[in-house]
Chains A and B, each alone.
Chain A
Amino acid sequence: MTNVSIIGIGQTEVREHWDTSLRHLAWYAIEAALDDAITTDIDAIYVGNMLAGSLSRQDHLGALIADFAGMRGREAITVEAADASGAAALRQAVLAIQSGLVQTALVVGVEKMTDQTGSAIGHALATTLDQDYEAVQGATPAALAALMMRRYLHTYGLQLADFAGFSINAHRNAAHNPYALFRHPLPPERFAAGTLVAAPVTLFDQAPLADGAAAVIVTHSERAMDMSPHPVRIAGSALATDTLALHDRRDILWLAAAAESAQKAMRHAGITPAGIHLFELHDAYTILAALSLEACGFAPPGQGWQLARDGQIGLDGRIPISTFGGLKARGHAGGATGVYQIVELARQLRGEAGECQVPGARVGLAQSLGGSGGTAVTHVLTIDNFQPPFSAQADRF
């Protein structure tokens, strides 16, 4: 099976880019990735985007961005999987290269959130829910997270404050990330006083939505050394789905798609959770961080929050998460977020993470969730000459 490596990465700041259009944002990230890869030889473009049709009244982003980036004529399409759109776009690029029909692919995640105001963004976000049976009742993504969180608190006898460690860790790490939206620390007493969004979820449980774009360039691993001084291997890649509606799950506290895609990606890479050095997870809400740690095998059900309480998610902890701030403090740029995670993981494995560096990071996991977990995309990244402890199983990539 063809191995795939990342040879270029680029990103813009996550913030309110009122001076920058969707197409310009995408281009800035692409330009940075092309510079990083030292190539302009792109065969196909995969655009990850969640809401441009609703928020910018702009669909057909494949042609738009290929044209605007000076790549008119190239194969280019948009991939949509709610918040997981960017990671799903990377997944499509991996499949394309493994098919042998595409040599080098560009993945760009882009989201333009802030051309609209609060309730219009909320209305657009609700399109990622089951429109007929969730959104029509006034449910929102935050409401679904709150339904999970209330049940979790009830089942395990916990309080909101038990989740503070996730947001505090994210803010601490973002302070050193010049691309992050929130670069200030979050004191525990402020977490406790968060404004309610959908009780018990507060503003400090919830990732802020903002504009941003991130891009990666991927190619065959054999060619990668010629096109980058520090290629990063995509050692595992998997996408899985669960019921779209939360109410249809057998257990609303088990992210089945997250578990399924993580197991597949790790099996393909020949590793287990014990061999993962850091984990960029989908902390759109603190409850999703806890449930992701549980689904991916880093904690038993009901105990994911303890990793935050015990300081095990910090840069020097057992399983560092949100190392550049995560969704919570770097900011959540919708369909770009899954590509930001990959860019950040690549910087960690290249040893270029500066103050955010996880010492000795050679194997990283990135997982992006769509909605309340209806889609989960997991990638395992390694340094290019990493030898896995177990034989990689590539039969069902």
Chain B
Amino acid sequence: MEVSRHWRLRTQRYSLVGEICPNCGVKLFPPRDVCLECEAPAKELFTFTGLGEVYSYTTIYDAPAGFERYVPYTVALVKLAEGPLVTAQLTDVAAEDVQMGMPVEMVTRKLTEDGPEGMIVYGYKFRPISLTA
């Protein structure tokens, strides 16, 4: 049980709150307080739109404890529209239908759970943006 650990990350997990560097303007996700690019202090919050595209992806068949029941599942590097890459599962799409460059959007889903009676961890995943909607 790591209740406080997951609670601390609620704004990142549920609404992609990162940071923007007041010095060089780079947008940061995950937030890190010191800019990845210029190493200036960066504590100004920035909420990402949740839009992006698939930069790379993998379908996992050999899962660690806590994820066996979801096999196979697809983890991607999503390039957010504002710049940074984020590691996230893809959802609502078959593994064979994923393509490089595919437009995706953030949704909130169950990530894992701490045993049958434990806490359920929710967070962001990404799904394809329907071009017909």
Residues of A at the B interface (CB closer than 8 Å) are 118-120, 122-123, 125-126, 130, 132-140, 142-143, 146-148, 150-151, 154, 195-201, 243, 245-248, 252
Contact = CB atoms under 8 A, between A and B. Distances in A.
Given A119-B63, A123-B65, A246 B77 contact: yes
B84 A198 contact: no
B128 interface: no
A245 B56 contact: no
B64 A119 contact: yes
Given A136-B112, A136-B121, A137-B88, A199 B64 contact: no
Contacts, number: 111
A137 B106 CA distance: 14
Nearest to B6: A136
A137 B61 contact: no
26 contacts: A122-B63, A122-B64, A123-B65, A126-B64, A132-B5, A132-B30, A136-B111, A137-B75, A137-B87, A138-B89, A138-B112, A139-B75, A140-B60, A142-B60, A147-B77, A150-B58, A150-B100, A151-B56, A151-B77, A197-B61, A198-B60, A198-B75, A200-B58, A246-B87, A247-B77, A248-B36
Residue from B56, B70, B95 having most chain A Cβ neighbours under 10 A? B56
Contacts of A147: 56-58, 75-77, 87
Given A197-B61, A199-B61, A138 B55 contact: no
A132 to B, nearest CB: 6
B81 interface: no
B59 interface: yes
B86 interface: yes
Contacts of B57: 147, 150
Interface string B61-90: 111111110100101110000001111110
B45 interface: no
Contacts of B119: none
B71 to A, nearest CB: 9
Given A122-B64, A126-B64, A138 B123 contact: no
A142 B88 contact: no
Given A150-B57, A197-B61, A201-B58, A137 B89 contact: yes
B9 A123 contact: no
A154 B56 CA distance: 9
Given A150-B58, A246-B77, A119 B65 contact: yes
A199 B74 CA distance: 9
Contacts of B9: 132
Given A136-B111, A198-B61, A252 B77 contact: yes
Interface in B77-133: 77, 84-89, 95, 100, 111-112, 121, 123, 125
B25 to A, nearest CB: 16
Given A137-B87, A142-B62, A147-B77, 11 more contacts: A125-B64, A132-B30, A133-B30, A133-B86, A135-B64, A138-B73, A139-B87, A140-B60, A150-B100, A151-B77, A201-B58
Contacts of A132: 5, 9, 30
A138 B60 contact: yes
Given A247-B84, A252-B77, A138 B63 contact: yes
A252 B76 CA distance: 13
Contacts of A246: 77, 85, 87
Contact of B111 (A119, A137, A196): A137
A245 B31 CA distance: 13
A317 to B, nearest CB: 30
A252 to B, nearest CB: 7
Given A136-B112, A138-B112, A118 B62 contact: yes
B65 to A, nearest CB: 4
Nearest to B124: A137
A285 to B, nearest CB: 12
Given A147-B57, A248-B36, A120 B65 contact: yes
B123 A136 contact: yes
A123 B55 contact: no
Given A122-B65, A139-B87, A247-B84, A196 B59 contact: yes
B56 A148 contact: yes
